[in-house]
């Protein structure tokens, strides 16, 4: 019977039944509105968590545990629903006791396959935007009037000294800056602590050839999108300048040249004690919330290889690599075969170095133009913009796909990728390069979500590998480092003047260990990955990224990171969680994840 109804009617009928069963306190009836293996993903609105449940039993539990506190109502279709291949999709809106929500629904034969619910705003604490924007000028005549600049300087002088911030964000890259911008709009007093002098220096200090491999439509910051003439792929120094400008315009309290020397949580006072060195001045901050926004990665992974101390040349991790200029005519060995390794090898070759890539395990590779056309294009491209797909709509569409289902969407796309670029992949394999498309053929983004590594978006280096300009040793590692060479695990030897360890990074909780304690790092456990039981992402299945943007096992400690897209999207939900706590709202957390892995 549902097939005879229009998509709009099907969605409106489902929403009506959903609201009726929720109001009737009937979790069983509400769960039965889903397919037997249906999914509900909630971003803060019901769970004060980032949580996905699947199947009737888990749905019943989440509904029974959250609805009384959430008090959801006013479920409505937003715009027109659409149907394709038997799936009805629709945007929806709803309200809760404390806020307004936005969501997405997929129906098959009248039952919910996937439901996404997100908290859009706190009703009593909205952002001061549009009709609520500040006036800026105080009309009238007043003695001792202060200008905007005087008030801003007064705030900068007070915060952290005579007045404590509610939140301290450690890490002033794009993640910390974007989160601080959202907190600013919610009137949450915040200080960003960054060891580099200027906003954007974390980009400026990377190797010279670095450009974003993701396109501009994917990389906007909150509130201020890049202008229409911005290049598709942003050079690192241009991004650095944009972040510096953004920090100033968004009035972020940014403490550059400041290093956090230690932090501990004072249980009795309910606040953090954060010691920092601010350009030589020792300052103790006492925020109620602490956010580690040190990137999705932790400390650089530098392997311990026998003989490192005897090497007579230069060796460093890829995060410290300055560029290729100084190495013309030098013998260079790059350990690793992912994004940074390819970029660094290509730049060394461009500057006349003799460079060898050492590939220990297989890498997923996708050509940049193919990624744009087949993978990102439908949501993040000029064509998508022209089709009316806003950044928010693209982000919500992506978020509406539960991680368990996501491979089903990606595998067919990457089959197209493999077919389209079959000759490209053949040439790489012929050169000895070890390729993969992920353990299950789901490609780039699933590999990124599961392990944060193991891939390269090709912007030219693969051609150098295929034709032998970048020499390749695959299926081996470095067994020993000698004074002027490296010995590989197959017994062969490579002369070396430079060794670059493009060996990635550890879990983000490594920063917690360094800044707070190993005990706290172990208490919160591993960050990133979802328990897919694939390479470098051990089970059990957890359904969401570990510890990211949500409450952790350490009270008042949060992790924020990811690429520009993730930082932009998930910062809004982290900001709302922090604002709710600052205002004393009841925030019962449902379904907090267990800790299964320490690092």
Q: What is the pLDDT of residues 27-73, one digit of tens each?
A: 999 999 999 999 999 999 999 999 999 999 999 999 999 999 999 99
Q: Which long-range contacts (CB under 8 A, 24 or more apart) does 388-392 make?
A: 391/217, 391/220, 391/225, 391/568
Backbone conformation region of residue 408, classed left if phi is above 0, alpha if psi is from -120 to 50, else beta: alpha
Neighbours of 474 (CB within 10 A): 17
Cα 379 to Cα 309: distance, rounded to the nearest angstrom: 49
Query: pLDDT tens digits for 139-192?
Result: 888 898 899 999 999 999 999 999 999 999 999 999 999 999 999 999 999 999
pLDDT attached to residue 360: 97
User: Taking residues 354-366, what's their average pLDDT?
Assistant: 98
Cα 438 to Cα 290: distance, rounded to the nearest angstrom: 35
**pLDDT beyond 70 at 496:** yes
Residue of 119, 121, 171 lying closest to 567 (CA atoms): 171
Q: What does the mean pLDDT of the chain come to?
A: 96
User: Taking residues 115-124, what's their average pLDDT?
Assistant: 98
Q: 7-122 in CATH: which number?
A: 3.10.450.50
The confidence band for 297, taking pLDDT boundaries of 50, 70 and 90, is: low
Q: Edge-to-edge, what's the strand order for the sheet holding 471-474?
A: 314-317, 498-501, 331-335, 354-359, 471-474
Cα 12 to Cα 81: distance, rounded to the nearest angstrom: 10
Strand partners for 537: 534
The confidence band for 2, taking pLDDT boundaries of 50, 70 and 90, is: very low
Cα 57 to Cα 40: distance, rounded to the nearest angstrom: 12
**pLDDT beyond 60 at 3:** no
pLDDT attached to residue 599: 82
**pLDDT beyond 80 at 296:** no
Residue of 124, 119, 168, 203 lying closest to 285 (CA atoms): 168
Residues 416-442 as b or e (16 or more Cβ within 10 Å = b): ebbeebeebbebbeebebeebbbbeeb
**pLDDT beyond 70 at 1:** no
Cα 197 to Cα 582: distance, rounded to the nearest angstrom: 30
Question: What are the backbone dihedrals phi and psi of residue 24, each rounded to the nearest 5 degrees, phi first?
Answer: -80, 5
Cβ atoms of residues 303 and 569 within 8 Å:
no
The residue behind tokens 């660094």 is 344
Neighbours of 302 (CB within 10 A): 15
Residue of 461, 466, 406 lying closest to 438 (CA atoms): 406
Distance from chain centroid for Cα 566? 4
CA dihedral (457, 459, 461, 467) in degrees, to 10, reads 110
The domain segmentation of the chain, as residue ranges, is 7-122, 155-298+507-583, 308-501
Backbone conformation region of residue 361, classed left if phi is above 0, alpha if psi is from -120 to 50, else beta: beta
Q: What is the pTM of this model?
A: 0.95
Distance from chain centroid for Cα 359? 26
Residue 483 makes CB contacts below 8 A (sequence gap 6+) with: 310, 311, 312
Cα 25 to Cα 442: distance, rounded to the nearest angstrom: 39
Instruction: List the single range of 197-211, 290-304, 342-356 with lowest mean pLDDT.
Output: 290-304
What top-level class would CATH report for the domain 308-501? alpha beta
The residue behind tokens 């297989």 is 362
Instruction: List the single range of 205-214, 292-301, 358-367 with lowest mean pLDDT.
Output: 292-301
**pLDDT beyond 60 at 541:** yes
Say if 7-122 and 155-298+507-583 have the same CATH topology.
Answer: no
User: Taking residues 253-262, what's their average pLDDT?
Assistant: 98
Cβ atoms of residues 250 and 242 within 8 Å:
no
What top-level class would CATH report for the domain 155-298+507-583? alpha beta
Cβ atoms of residues 381 and 372 within 8 Å:
yes
User: Taking residues 407-417, what's their average pLDDT?
Assistant: 97
Residue of 117, 155, 149 lying closest to 136 (CA atoms): 149
Q: Which carries the bigger pLDDT value, residue 4 or residue 279?
A: 279
* 3-class DSSP state of 168: strand
**pLDDT beyond 80 at 298:** no
Structure token pair of residue 200: 């954007």
**pLDDT beyond 50 at 110:** yes
pLDDT attached to residue 81: 98
Structure token pair of residue 264: 């501990």
Cβ atoms of residues 581 and 183 within 8 Å:
no
For the chain, give the percent of residues with pLDDT over 70.
99
């Amino acid at each position: 019977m549902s097939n005879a109804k229009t998509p709009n009617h099907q969605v409106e009928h489902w929403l009506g039944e959903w609201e009726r069963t929720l109001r009737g306190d009937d979790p069983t009836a509400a769960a039965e509105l889903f397919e037997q293996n249906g999914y509900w993903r909630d971003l803060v609105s019901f769970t004060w968590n980032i949580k996905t449940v699947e199947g009737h039993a888990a749905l019943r539990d989440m509904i029974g545990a959250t609805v009384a506190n959430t008090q959801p109502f006013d479920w409505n279709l937003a715009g027109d629903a659409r149907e394709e291949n038997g799936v009805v999709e629709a945007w929806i809106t709803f309200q809760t006791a404390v806020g307004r929500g936005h969501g997405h629904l997929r129906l098959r034969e009248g039952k919910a396959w996937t439901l996404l619910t997100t908290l859009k705003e706190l009703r009593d604490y909205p952002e001061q935007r549009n009709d609520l924007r500040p006036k800026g000028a105080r009309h009238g005549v007043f003695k001792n009037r202060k200008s905007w600049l005087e008030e801003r300087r007064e705030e900068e002088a007070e915060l952290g000294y005579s007045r404590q911030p509610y939140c301290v964000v450690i890490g002033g890259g794009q993640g910390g800056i974007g989160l601080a911008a959202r907190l600013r709009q919610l009137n949450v007093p915040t200080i960003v602590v960054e060891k580099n002098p200027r906003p954007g220096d974390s980009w400026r200090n990377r190797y010279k050839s670095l450009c974003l491999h993701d396109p501009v439509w994917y990389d906007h910051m909150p509130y201020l999108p890049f202008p229409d003439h911005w290049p598709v792929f942003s050079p690192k120094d241009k991004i650095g300048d944009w972040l510096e400008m953004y920090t100033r315009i968004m009035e972020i309290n940014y403490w550059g040249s400041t290093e956090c020397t230690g932090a501990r949580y004072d249980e009795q006072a309910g606040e953090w004690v954060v010691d920092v060195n601010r350009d030589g001045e020792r300052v103790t901050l006492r925020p109620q919330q602490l956010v580690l926004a040190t990137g999705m990665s932790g400390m650089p992974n530098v392997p311990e290889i026998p003989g490192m101390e005897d090497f007579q040349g230069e060796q460093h991790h890829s995060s410290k690599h300055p560029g290729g200029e100084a190495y013309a005519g030098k013998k260079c060995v790059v350990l690793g075969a992912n994004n940074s390794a390819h970029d660094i090898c290509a730049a060394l070759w461009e500057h006349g170095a003799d460079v060898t890539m050492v590939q220990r395990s297989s890498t997923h590779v996708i050509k940049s133009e193919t990624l744009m056309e087949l993978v990102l294009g439908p949501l993040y491209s000029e064509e998508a913009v022209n089709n009316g797909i806003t950044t928010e709509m693209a982000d919500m569409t992506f978020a509406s796909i539960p991680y368990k289902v996501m491979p089903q969407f990606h595998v067919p796309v990457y089959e197209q990728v493999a077919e389209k670029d079959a000759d490209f992949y053949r040439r790489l394999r012929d050169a000895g390069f070890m390729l993969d498309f992920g353990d299950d053929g789901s490609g780039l983004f699933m590999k990124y979500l599961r392990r944060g590594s193991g891939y390269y978006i090709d912007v030219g280096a693969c051609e150098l590998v295929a034709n032998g300009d970048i020499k390749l040793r695959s299926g081996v590692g470095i067994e020993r480092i000698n004074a002027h060479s490296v010995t590989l695990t197959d017994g062969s030897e490579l002369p070396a003047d430079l060794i670059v360890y493009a060996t990635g990074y550890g879990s983000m909780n490594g920063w917690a260990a360094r800044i707070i304690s190993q005990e706290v790092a172990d208490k919160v456990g591993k960050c990133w990955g979802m328990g897919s039981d694939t390479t470098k992402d051990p089970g059990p299945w957890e359904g969401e990224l570990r510890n990211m943007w949500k409450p952790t096992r350490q009270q008042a400690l949060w992790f924020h990171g990811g690429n520009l897209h993730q930082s932009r999207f998930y910062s809004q939900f982290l900001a709302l969680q922090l604002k709710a706590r600052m205002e004393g709202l009841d925030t019962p957390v449902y379904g907090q994840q267990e800790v299964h892995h320490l690092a």
